[in-house]
A and B are shown apart, each in its own frame.
Chain A
Amino acid sequence: MERILRVSVFRCIACGKCELACAFAHGREGRPAAARIRVLSQGPDRGIPLVCLQCHEAACVAVCPVGALSRDPERGVVVLSEARCIRCGVCVAACPFGAMLPEEDGRVAKCDLCGGAPRCVPFCPTGALEYLPAEAAQRGPAADGTRDAPRA
């Protein structure tokens, strides 16, 4: 079943816990600069979490010369095969949202939804990040702050 990592921007308090959870989940010793979700600060207690949109017709998938990127429609995720990646960086240049994150050694990091259990979600204290079935996610969040479903 396709699930979507829904970001409700108005709930984000820019605490940065998602960045830390991500950085730890991907074995980066908790270095927030290496996280695949980035909170763009909008003031002391407001932020915009930016993360890969897992596009249906993804530019990164279209331009990859060796098929290292592919979209799994079942899970609703664009997957990067590190074994296939040749570090050419064309996906970084082609992503219109800046969601492909280049690393110093030429590798690219991208959100993989942690294989189906995004680690950032349980750490978000305000429910700005939710991992929901596609249908529920598309209904939109309740503005009163109630959550649609228990968080993953």
Chain B
Amino acid sequence: MTQTSDGIRHEPEPRAPGMVTLRIDGRLVRAREGRTLLAVAREAGIEIPTLCHHEALEPSGGCRLCVVDVSRREREAEPRLVAACLHPVEEGLDVRTASERVLCVRREILDLLLARCPESPPVQRLARAHGIFESSYREAPDPTLCILCGLCTRLCDALGPAAISLVGRGIGREVAPPFQAPPPDCIGCLSCALICPTGHILWSSSEAGNRIWGRTFPWLRCPTCGRAHLTEAAADFWAARTGVPRVELETCDACKRAATGATVARLAAAG
């Protein structure tokens, strides 16, 4: 039994197995063990800014914008700064997502990012939201749109080809295919370009096929209508990876609907 400030005695809630209780910005939150602070905070409606997080991809802790203050009251006097996207929830943890120190660190990161990528819309947006309209650092001599969030490389890893990666160190760090050459493992699916939050990855699509990373990927055309809907390389890759026969990947979605309709009509006519 614990005495509370309202003078009423409450039975302490029994701890459910696999569940932990922690405090985020003063609110008591219950969460399943093993989940990250970011996921739990977002579920509780507490927004933590991120640039490199994606629900489906491994967290990388790359952008550091999701830093939060954590402390275990009984063990630590000083709160520590951790990346919320990587740090698991713990029993009794006290998390602060917008303390003065957290905001100071976030502003510093955004200040640096804005010097590196002054034209990058998500960086501009977040910087503005934190009161930064111009970087206090000297603008990079060759500004880029790439914020090094690694979404494209992690996506390509998750998909399977792993055709691109983050290479180099320090100011030379960039996203690139191996040896800066047209990547042999790329399937031309354009997913990396579509997930890129800043439009840094350049691509084009024409009658000949998709062009990205210095390579052109010829179309596989629907055998029924001739529409280009998939690259040859993607069809080969997915057939091998998923076990779906390649011939079933070749027909476009519209022709498959027409075929489904024809089957239904035949069945309906047969009663």
Question: In whole angstroms, what is the CA distance A62 to B243 when docked?
Answer: 10
Question: In whole angstroms, what is the CA distance A96 to B189 when docked?
Answer: 20
Contacts of B255 in A (CB 8 A): 98
Say yes or no: is B194 at the interface (Cβ < 8 Å to chain A): yes
**Do B253 and A95 touch across chains, with their CB atoms under 8 A apart?**
yes
Question: In whole angstroms, what is the CA distance A86 to B159 when docked?
Answer: 9
Q: How far is the CB of A136 from chain B (nearest CB, A)?
A: 20
**Do A50 and B260 touch across chains, with their CB atoms under 8 A apart?**
yes
**Do A98 and B195 touch across chains, with their CB atoms under 8 A apart?**
no
**Do A97 and B191 touch across chains, with their CB atoms under 8 A apart?**
no
**Do B254 and A98 touch across chains, with their CB atoms under 8 A apart?**
yes
Say yes or no: is B242 at the interface (Cβ < 8 Å to chain A): yes
If A10-B268, A85-B56 touch, whether A65 touches B253 (CB-CB below 8 Å) is no
Contact residue among A59, A86, A101 (Cβ-Cβ distance under 8 Å from B244): A59
Q: Mark B250-271, 1 if CB is under 8 A from A, else 0.
A: 0011111111110011001000
**Do A106 and B194 touch across chains, with their CB atoms under 8 A apart?**
yes
Chain B interface mostly? helix
Contacts of B229 in A (CB 8 A): 92-93, 102
**Do B253 and A101 touch across chains, with their CB atoms under 8 A apart?**
yes
Q: Which B residues, 52 to 111, have Cβ-Cβ distances below 8 Å to chain A?
A: 54-57
Question: In whole angstroms, what is the CA distance A10 to B255 when docked?
Answer: 22
**Do B55 and A81 touch across chains, with their CB atoms under 8 A apart?**
yes
Contacts of B176 in A (CB 8 A): none
Contacts of A9 in B (CB 8 A): 264-265, 268
How many interface contacts (CB-CB < 8 Å) are there between A and B?
A: 100
Say yes or no: is B28 at the interface (Cβ < 8 Å to chain A): no
If A48-B265, A93-B238, A94-B248 touch, whether A65 touches B256 (CB-CB below 8 Å) is no
**Do A66 and B158 touch across chains, with their CB atoms under 8 A apart?**
yes
Contacts of B155 in A (CB 8 A): 86
**Do B55 and A84 touch across chains, with their CB atoms under 8 A apart?**
yes
Closest B residue to A38 by beta carbon equals B257
Say yes or no: is B163 at the interface (Cβ < 8 Å to chain A): no
Contacts of A95 in B (CB 8 A): 253, 256
Say yes or no: is B230 at the interface (Cβ < 8 Å to chain A): yes
Question: In whole angstroms, what is the CA distance A34 to B244 when docked?
Answer: 27
Contact residue among A48, A67, A93, A106 (Cβ-Cβ distance under 8 Å from B261): A48
Q: How far is the CB of B210 from chain A (nearest CB, A)?
A: 12
Say yes or no: is B249 at the interface (Cβ < 8 Å to chain A): yes
Q: Which B residues, 219 to 255, have Cβ-Cβ distances below 8 Å to chain A?
A: 229-230, 234-235, 238, 241-242, 244, 248-249, 252-255
Say yes or no: is A114 at the interface (Cβ < 8 Å to chain B): no
Chain A interface residues (CB < 8 Å from chain B): 9-10, 38, 40, 42, 48, 50, 59, 62-63, 65-68, 81, 83-90, 92-102, 105-106
